[in-house]
Structure 1
Amino acid sequence: MPQSDTEAIVQLLNLYGFAVDTQRWSLFDRIFTEDVEADFSEPAHWHDRESFKRDFGAFHDPFDSTQHCMMNHMVEVDGDTAHAFTYGTWRLLRKATDGNPLWDGSGWYDDALVRTADGWRIRHRVCRIVWWVGNPQVNETIPGVSFKLDTTVLRGEADAGRVGFLRAIEGK
């Protein structure tokens, strides 16, 4: 049975969490365009899929286990382009740190997608962390590089016109 565009995009968004948790970075080729712009807040900003895969691999390799849950998918398709907004939660486990081996977080993903000959791909992703709890040393797998809490709330990003999904559904 053929999938609708929305179903295919939701499947793609869920594949991202699976790719990260299995550390199968080759699956990013099925998820992102070669020239993806991935903004996870500075300094975590990539301009191409290969460096995104390399750096995500290096960051995630030291974890004993991870779990990424993608949820509350909203998708707006317009021909061969689409926007999606997804909430995510994640648990990172690294026993090599002092104290609590867990770092849990929640945030959101704002994606711009394009239809390719091989299916839908994300060409621009913004990820912002809304909250986290646990040992911050767990997510510092590369000295000096960690994902930090973004104090910009979604409402403020929306009011500033920086949420692509909202612009898409409001027709702006």
Structure 2
Amino acid sequence: MTHQPTTGHTDLPHAVGTQDPATRALTNHTDVPNAVGTQDSTLQTLTDRPDVPNAAGTQDPALQALTDRPDVPNAVGTHDPAPRALTNHTDVPHAVGTHDSTLQTLTDRAEVLDVVGLCALSMDLKDWAAVESCFAEDAEIHFGGRVGTITGNTAVAEALRRTLDNLDSAQHLLTSPVVRTDGDMATHVGYLQATHRRGDELYTIGARYDDVLRRTPDGWRLSGRVVTRLWKTGDPNVIRPETD
């Protein structure tokens, strides 16, 4: 029997390493890379597709257009004009860390609450110098009741001292603060629950503070306060003022 040489088989490469016509036809197929590793026209077309980076790693025009979109950082990591415009927005802090008006408002609000809180805490600690420092020199405070209206930070601190200094303890709790600022002026509204103890006797007041504050060279200070009493319980004689 005569055998056909294997080199003549249509689906095997020739013995010398070249491809027979059938295999050559496969090599020349439009969707298969050539044996030498180059790309045929179909693969070249894929390389040239706008959503595929070129073989050299650069971007074709369509992908470059994506890189140039206003909401995508450039390849070098810098921001295009649109994100930079966001950085320059008036309600966003600048990249260099400067304070915009929103941050200043938050800072002022925190300082106002500190003054109001320090005044309440200092009364409980009987630190009358600290109480005096919370008020402006021309402050006008409407306490109501037996104390009435007091003008001047020194007089206010003294009136509070005469009322509270002979207590065994006191606790002024502040809640629901609302602060509004306008330049160098601010308002504060909040609730007060003040409990006073002498021996075994207690007297507790529920009230609302309506405050006006002013920015001074030394910081925010209370320049006006109206104390509106809402409820009370216990013996009011617990806080009878000190007599001369």
Q: Is the 8 A contact 2:132 2:157 kept in 1?
A: no
- Percent sequence identity over matched residues? 28
Task: Report matched runs for 1:18-167 at 5 Å.
Answer: 18-44=121-147, 45-95=149-199, 101-142=201-242
Q: Is the 8 A contact 2:211 2:224 kept in 1?
A: yes
The CA RMSD measured in Å over matched residues stands at 1.6
TM-score of the pair, normalised by structure 1 = 0.75
User: Which stretch shows the higher mean deviation, 101-110 or 51-60?
Assistant: 51-60
Query: Which runs of 5 or more residues in structure 2 are unaligned?
Result: 1-103
Q: Which has the larger radius of gyration?
A: 2
Larger RCO: Structure 1 or Structure 2 (Cα < 8 Å, ≥ 6 residues apart)?
1
C-alpha offsets along residues 13-36 of structure 1, whole Å, 9 cap, x if unaligned?
111111100010111243110111
**Aligned partners of 1:48, 1:6: CA distance in 2, in Å?**
24
**Aligned partners of 2:169, 2:241: CA distance in 1, in Å?**
13
User: Which stretch shows the higher mean deviation, 110-119 or 130-139?
Assistant: 130-139
CA positional deviation for 1:139: 1.9
**Aligned partners of 2:120, 2:182: CA distance in 1, in Å?**
25
**Aligned partners of 2:145, 2:170: CA distance in 1, in Å?**
22
Runs of 4 or more consecutive aligned structure 1 residues displaced over 3 Å after TM superposition: none
- Would you say how many aligned residue pairs link Structure 1 and Structure 2? 138
Query: Which runs of 5 or more residues in structure 1 are unaligned?
Result: 144-172
SS of 2:241 mapped into structure 1: coil
Task: Please say if 1:5 is aligned against 2:108.
Answer: yes
TM-score of the pair, normalised by structure 2 = 0.54
> In the alignment, residue 30 of structure 1 is paired with which amino acid?
S
SS of 1:12 mapped into structure 2: helix
